[in-house]
Chains A and B, each alone.
Chain A
Amino acid sequence: MAVAEIIPPSRFETSRRLFLKRGFGSPGSLAISVIVFVVLGWIAWSFLDWAVLRAVWRQENVEACGQGGACWAVIDARHRLILFGTYPFGEHWRSALAALAIIATVVLSCLPAMWQARRLAALWVLGFASYYLLMEGSLLGLPQVTTDGWGGLSLTLFLFAAVVLLGMPMGLGLALMRRSEMPVVRWFAMGLIDTIRSLPLVTTLFTAAVVVPLFLPSWLEGDKIWRVIIAFALFFACYQAEVFRGGFQAIPKGQVEAGKALGLGYWSILGRIVLPQVFRHALPSTINMVVVTFKETAIVTIIGFFDILASGKTAFGTAEWAPYYIEVYLFVAAIYWVFIFSLGQYGEYLKRRMTLSER
């Protein structure tokens, strides 16, 4: 037999065979496969039957609700409330555009072409500014809407963008302080990081909302929403500082020494040698941190902000829609899930790509 006749099977063929062998090769594994797929299939089918096949979609057909199918009519009727909260109805296009600006900012910062500190900073400042200008309105000559009127998904996205934008430089600052050669500065950063990380986020936010005004003179008190954002950003910064610390540790000491030997100052070494590599090393964990932050913004509902969770609760708060709370919660959960899952998958992809390129 000629050697040439032995052709290695394709990768697809190999995985297909492995799948069949491991899943159906022996009576035991066959039984497990059958049980798992029957259970999963049953769950998937019941859900499909409830959520699609027997569902009522349009607001006009609301009388047909409550007969064993999902009542998506509640979303049809109340989606504006869930997405935009109590924002003036006629101005909803502003809230929608503003939310899109934040989403576009996040999507654009996933492009490798944007991965330079200067470009990313410019992008986020731009995205955040366009959000603020659109929502607040007075600077663009539109009717003014104060932060009390913001709500729903738009508010959630606003909190998220503000926290990341403020928290990122704060985190870098804390990470640098923690590495400082001056003991007082180092202890200060370490104490702050460890304390904030040990406290539940909701206590930190509650303190900012309720307790901090007692300590501040009235001219410095500011809006409740800004105090909470700053506290949230501090929380983000303390975790992000640890992420940056991991990045700093990955850089060989010799590089800093080489910079010093060339006569470069602290800031040149930092800006031209160390930080570009730190950012690169810290990127996957940073994305993870950003995802966690998006998830944690849901906490603000406890201290009385009208985020998407609270606006969802209001959406089924009337007697007419009260029985359809499951549909509303599923809708809100699906929005969160799409954002968090896609960002998370992107982070996983990036991690794989980076470990490959390091080999």
Chain B
Amino acid sequence: MQAALVVVTLLAVWGAVSNAQYNLTRLNMTSGFGFLERGTGWNYSFSLVERSINDSYAYTLFIGLLNTLFVGFICIVTTTIFGFLIGTMRDVRHPALRFAASVYVQIFRNIPLILQAIFLYAILIHMGGPRQAVSLGDVAFLSGRGAMLPGLNVSPTVAVALLLASLALGVALILARPVFWRGLALWAGGSLGLALAVALVLRPEGESLLSLPELQGLRFTGGISVPIELFALIAAITLYGSAYVAEIVRGGLAQVPRGLVEAGQALGLSRAAIWSRIKVPMALRSIIPPLGNQWIFMMKATTIGIAIGFSDLFYITVNAISQSGQTLELIAMLMLTFLAINYSIALFTNWLNARLQLKEH
């Protein structure tokens, strides 16, 4: 039986390969990775780093990977924070808060993500130019051209470096294993302090620390400009994903034994202290594994960027396929990349979970 499976699989692979060879020669396509060196000659919507339409395929794909990782990482952070907030609201005793949170979860969890993204994108794109922009306290603006946010007065490269440094600090803190809340405070404080210090040193001569967007004539200057595709994608994934994370968090909080909460009450702890010192640290142990799955889901969800024209890795790959015709090589690269990304996230969450387990004495 096993031998039969092996033989059938080998036969199928052999058949597929010979067919592929036959079809490729019929279509006059050459296989191999030589095309990666060629220039692409086409443009796309978003890049974190310098790019031109003469970039090679390899470099363009790298930009796509960077975009996917960037969006995925931002979505993971925003979704986790927002999901914890909503999930906690579903767990508190106050009926109005519970009601509001469950309305949120029931609306955003039960509509397909891609529909939410396309819908949001359509609404944003119809918002009109910078002059009709919606202002948030005059420091952030949202218009049909995108979102303008206040930012540190540093170059994009420095900003990416700061982001990576903050990430490294987080990993280092998990390694050092402090009390959860102290760790979180150290991480937030450290990242913020580092960012401010770097901005203080590296800002352009004589300019302020923060760069605020400002309407000058027909366009905004200063600040961070977030293209509309990127904004819609992040917002849609965050809205959808945090409804799921909220359910995970609620489930985790509900699993904390009542006795522990009552012990906290007997000690006279406030409700906030019970939540932060007893419930969350205990709940994290049952939250992390499904949360890790949700993170992987979010990484995969970035591929719907293609529906609203955001140039993530999938978008770039599909474009590269239609332009170069190197279907097999590009699909193989795409799949291997996603396998690698998701495998790393799985390893990370397993490791995090092992770190957080209670020590048996």
Contacts and interface: CB of A to CB of B under 8 A. Distances in A.
A33 B318 CA distance: 50
Contact of A22 (B2, B93, B339): B93
B63 interface: no
Interface string A187-206: 01000000100111111001
B185 interface: no
A129 to B, nearest CB: 27
Contacts of A32: 94, 96-97
A217 interface: yes
Contacts of A202: 303-304, 306, 314
A37 B96 CA distance: 7
Nearest to B12: A215
B111 A200 contact: no
Range class of the A interface residue count: 35 or more
Interface stretch (A83-91, A139-147, A166-174, A335-343): A335-343
Nearest to B120: A329
A23 B2 CA distance: 64
B194 interface: no
A184 B100 contact: no
Please indicate which of the listed interface residues B9, B112, B122, B300 has the most CB atoms of chain A within 10 Å of its own CB. B112
A198 B343 contact: yes
Contact of B114 (A29, A39, A298, A326): A298
B331 interface: yes
A210 B334 CA distance: 14
Of listed B93, B116, B303, residue having the most chain A CB within 10 A:
B303
Of the candidates B6, B16, B111, B301, the one having the most CB atoms from chain A within 10 angstroms of its own CB is: B111
A301 B307 contact: yes
A309 B342 contact: no
Contacts of B261: none
A258 interface: no
Contacts, number: 136
A284 to B, nearest CB: 14
A185 B8 CA distance: 12
A302 B112 contact: no
A356 interface: no
Interface string B83-116: 0000000000111110110010011011111111
A299 B114 contact: yes
A329 B114 contact: no
Interface in A18-52: 19, 22-23, 29, 32-33, 36-37, 39-40
Interface of B: 1-2, 5-6, 9, 15-17, 19-20, 23-24, 93-97, 99-100, 103, 106-107, 109-116, 118-119, 122-123, 126, 296, 300-301, 303-304, 306-307, 314, 318, 321, 327-328, 331, 334-335, 338-339, 342-343
A-B complex: 9 closest residue pairs judged by Cβ atoms: A298-B112, A200-B300, A215-B16, A36-B96, A200-B303, A184-B2, A340-B110, A198-B342, A33-B96
30 contacts: A22-B94, A23-B95, A32-B97, A36-B96, A36-B99, A37-B96, A182-B1, A184-B2, A184-B6, A185-B1, A195-B335, A198-B339, A198-B342, A199-B335, A199-B339, A200-B303, A201-B300, A202-B304, A202-B306, A202-B314, A210-B321, A213-B23, A214-B24, A215-B20, A215-B23, A299-B114, A325-B126, A329-B118, A337-B110, A340-B111
Interface of A: 19, 22-23, 29, 32-33, 36-37, 39-40, 182-185, 188, 195, 198-203, 206-207, 210-211, 213-217, 295-296, 298-299, 301-302, 309, 313, 325-326, 329, 332-333, 336-337, 340-341, 344
